[in-house]
Structure 1
Amino acid sequence: MKMLFLIILFTLLSFSQASIISPKPVEYVSPKSFAGLWYEIARTYNKFEENCVAATVEYKNINENRLKVFNRCFEYEIGGKLISYTGIVKPLLENNLAQLDKTYYWIFSKEYKIIYLDKSYQTAIMSDESMENLWIMHRKPFMKKENLEELLFFIKNYMDTSKLIFTKQDKNGRYK
């Protein structure tokens, strides 16, 4: 009987833990307003950005349901070799980028969601469902410390923030 109780308790705890793993996406993200250049402030580790500094992502509207995405960074140091790759973004909801699918090279596809977006479209947090891949993005290469601390406090409810890598940015926010 004790064993059955422990199994039920463990199962219930597992389900309750699963419900807080990842925050819900924001309600609405205008593709038109979200388009433009974003600077990477922090991210979790991912193989495709392993040696990147001064990373940015730029979204350009193709039509109301598709955007082109340009990821750029310097390899190892600012002013070093420019790494760039291009993909396509499709909203998973009609005319709403709160949940999206990114495809690179026609074969690599992954779903993401915007879990934080300020009203002025200046700061955003994008992640996958597992929070294994997460990016804090801002329209300028640097953000105020107190604003970053608020975002870290929000994320702390869903992941270990010590896993974040803070991106070295060019003070001029530009490429070669």
Structure 2
Amino acid sequence: MRHLLPLLGLLAACGRNTAPESDLDVVPFVDPERYMGLWYEIAAFPIRSQEDCVGATATYTLKDNGDVEVFNQCFKDTLDGDEKSITGKAWIVDAETNAKLKVQFFWPFAADYWVIDLDDEGYEYAVVGHPNREYLWILNREPQMDEVLYESVLEGITESGYDLAPW
């Protein structure tokens, strides 16, 4: 169990009933090819599987069948700590926007992965949420995010109905 990683906490949501009519908005469109690659976790709601993680990243690779390979990695306690990693898959469930996906690390469990904010010009940052608003990740292409941009992203998250008290 010690190899559980970022986004694995979404599995906890799998056992819950997610209302199909969640009022959480997603971005109008995600280009899967542009979304692929390495993302750095800038901030996330606390989840048990990440309690001792630092330097968390997610790498997405588009497969020929349209699925996405998900490789999550972090380090225990410090950047010099033991590497923790896990590989899973994701698939698009809303072909109109490509912004709603399911992510799976252990069969048969899959969880919602909704892109709720995205730098649609350069795909430099993304915000990933869950329809129940209990899970949230701010991702960036670089290890740090500009402070002004970060504050703007937080404002958008709050406007989306998220309670940022866990931070």
Report the TM-score when normalising by structure 1.
Answer: 0.77
Supply the AA of the counterpart residue of 2:63.
Answer: I
Structure 1: how far apart are the matches of 2:92 and 2:59? 16
Aligned counterpart for 1:121 among listed residues 120, 123, 129 = 123
Q: Which residue of 1 aligns with 2:112?
A: 111
- Counterpart position of 1:133: 135
Structure of greater Rg:
1
Q: Which has the higher helix share?
A: 1
Matches within 5 A, 1:1-176: 23-63=24-64, 65-94=66-95, 96-119=97-120, 120-157=122-159, 158-164=161-167
Counterpart CA distance in 1 for 2:164 and 2:37 is 27
Equivalent position amino acid for 1:100 in 2: L
Task: Please state how far the C-alpha of 1:99 moved relative to its aligned partner.
Answer: 0.2
Residue identity over aligned pairs, in percent, reads: 32
Verify the 8 A CA contact 2:27 2:97 in the aligned structure 1: no
CA distance in 1, matches of 2:79, 2:31: 32
Any idea what SS the aligned residue of 2:81 has? coil
Alpha-carbon displacement from aligned partner over 1:119-162 (angstroms, at most 9, x marks no partner): 21111000110111100000000011000000111112212223
Unmatched 5+ stretches in structure 1: 1-20, 165-176
Give, in whole Å, the separation in 2 of the partners of 1:64 and 1:30: 16
For residues 155 and 65 of structure 1, the distance between their equivalents in structure 2, rounded to whole angstroms, comes to 29
Pairwise CA RMSD of aligned residues? 1.8
CA distance 1:31–1:95, shift in 2 (3 Å): farther
Unaligned runs of 5+ in 2: 1-21
- What is the aligned residue count? 145
Q: CA deviation at 1:22?
A: 5.1
Compared with structure 1, are the counterparts of its residues 46 and 22 closer, same or farther at alpha carbon in structure 2 (3 Å cutoff)?
A: farther
Indicate the larger mover: 29-38 or 101-110: 101-110
Q: Is the 8 A contact 2:36 2:60 kept in 1?
A: yes
- Where do 4+ consecutive residues of structure 1 move more than 4 Å? none
Partner of 2:56, secondary structure, is strand
Which whole-Å CA distance do the structure 1 matches of 2:23 and 2:138 have between them?
15
Letter in 1 for 2:164: T
SS at match of 1:142: coil
